[in-house]
Amino acid sequence: MSLEERRWADLRRQVAYRCRRINTGHMVEADQRLGSRDALGPHGVMLFFVSDAPAEPHGYRLHTAYRLWLASPEADDLPGLLADLDDVARDNITRAASVHRRWHPLGPDGSMVNGGDMTQSAGSTYVGIGVSTLDSDQGRWNQVAHTLRDLPGRRLSAFDLKGQAYALLTDGTVLHIDRDPHARLGVDGVRCNRTLDPDRITYYNPHSNLTQPEDTDARAVWRHLQVLHHTLTTHLHGRSA
């Protein structure tokens, strides 16, 4: 495996870890704000960038910025949010080009994010996009959130609830993370169409069709995430995703 391949394998693993961490924080924050005027919606978008860092094991540092929405009927529709973001990104690209400027999703004008690493590091490169969602096979967030307070007997916490993340990287990587706090030891819930092990030369790919699940809602999320990823990759790299 080449140095570049090892770097990408490590990056996939770091992105999966970052997705889990952000999804957990999203869950805890949404629980704390539940029922308040600034209640959080169940979905968020993550943008991944890397910058050179020769002192790091694989020579790079991962930066993650994210966008969360306040709770509203519109914020419950993840495919709709992604479609709207794509429209906004395209408008920003066109508007900036009309005055001979180059738009960037981290701003300062037309920023797509409101949390995380919102300041672009010098020389940083866009490497992918992800989604954090509090909807899972336990139910939609607006349904399961009330079990944290209304369930008779033992009181559950946000750390008892599952979450999910989807991610696409510019090398063709597709990741799905099923964050289950009660999964048995050794089960991380990560599915990927490429290896996450920098030391693994061969890789049997059991997840080549991750973006075509039987679940129609999940398929719609993948479809709209791919469109937005294509828009950003084409603009920031001058090529298709």
Q: Please, what sign has the CA dihedral across residues 131, 140, 178, 183?
A: positive
Q: What local confidence, expressed as pLDDT, does residue 9 receive?
A: 93
Q: What is the mean pLDDT of residues 168-182?
A: 95
**Residue 93 confidence class, pLDDT cut points 50, 70, 90:** very high
User: pTM of the prediction?
Assistant: 0.93
Q: Please, what sign has the CA dihedral across residues 25, 140, 114, 30?
A: negative
Decide which of 142 and 236 is more confident.
Answer: 236
**Residue 48 confidence class, pLDDT cut points 50, 70, 90:** very high
The type of residue at 106 is: L
pLDDT cut 70: percent of the chain above it: 93
Cβ-based neighbours of 234, under 8 Å, separated by 6 or more = 240, 241
Q: What is the mean pLDDT of residues 88-117?
A: 95
Q: What local confidence, expressed as pLDDT, does residue 1 receive?
A: 73
* Distance of alpha carbon 222 from alpha carbon 215, whole angstroms: 11
Q: What local confidence, expressed as pLDDT, does residue 91 receive?
A: 98
Instruction: Enumerate the β-bridge partners of residue 51.
Output: 61
Region at 110 (left for phi over 0; alpha for psi -120 to 50; beta for the rest): left
